[in-house]
Amino acid sequence: MTRFNLLFRPAPWALFVLIGAFCLAAGTGFGQITISGEVTKPLTLQAADLKALPHTEVTGKDRDGKEHKYAGVPLADLLKLAGATMGGELRGENLMKYVVVKAIDGYETLYALPELDADFATRTIILADSVDGSPLPSGVGPYRIVVPGEKKPARWVREVKSIEVRFAK
C-alpha cells in the first residue's frame, strides 16, 4: 500500500503546471466572442472591441421579478459587422437562417435571423455587458443575451462565448 502511494504520488511541481495550464486555458477565452458560420467576415471580438461598440439599453424582468436596466450591443449590430444577411438582404432564402448562441457551460439556444433584425422585430435582443450600470457578475457575464418581453428567461444565455449563423436547409 505504501509502495503504491509512493509510486503514484505526483511530483509537487506537477500541481503548479496543472494550475498554470488551467489559468491559461480559462484566460484565453475570457471575454472573447466569436461570430462564425453563414457570414462573409467571421470575427473574434475582444472585450475592448465590444466595449467600443454602440450600446443600447433595454429593461427586463430578472429572476427576482423586478425590472432591471441591461446595456449591451444589439445582436443585429454584431451580425452586421460579421457580414450576415441583415436589413435589405434579409429576404428569400435568407429568411431560413438562424443564429445559435453558445455558452461556456455548453448551453445553447437559437433565434431566427428575422427575430434579430430591426426591420422585422419590435424588440431589440442584446448581448448585455452590464446590469443597472454594473458589470454582470461572474457566472452570468461578462456577456449575457437579454431578450426583452419574453415570458421565460430560458434564452437569456449566460456566459456567452460564440454566435453562429446557420441555414435551416
Binding residues for ligand MTE (CB under 6 A): 63, 103, 105, 107, 153-154, 156-159
Per the structure block, which three cell numbers stand in for 30? 475570457
105/119 with CB nearer ligand MTE: 105
Scanning residues 143 to 162, which ones bind Mo ion (CB under 5 A)?
154
Shortest Cβ 152–Mo ion spacing (Å): 6
Distance in angstroms (rounded) separating the CA atoms of residues 55 and 130: 10
DSSP code of residue 55: P
**Could you say which of ligand MTE, Mo ion, none residue 107 binds, taking C-beta under 5 to 8 angstroms by partner kind?**
ligand MTE
Place of cell 475570457: 30
41/66 with CB nearer Mo ion: 66
28 three-class SS:
helix
31/153 with CB nearer Mo ion: 153
**Please, are residues 46 and 33 in contact by the beta-carbon 8 Å criterion?**
no
3/63 with CB nearer ligand MTE: 63
How far CA 51 is from CA of 3, 89, 127, in Å, comes to: 56, 27, 11
Name the site residues for Mo ion (rule: CB under 5 A). Answer: 154
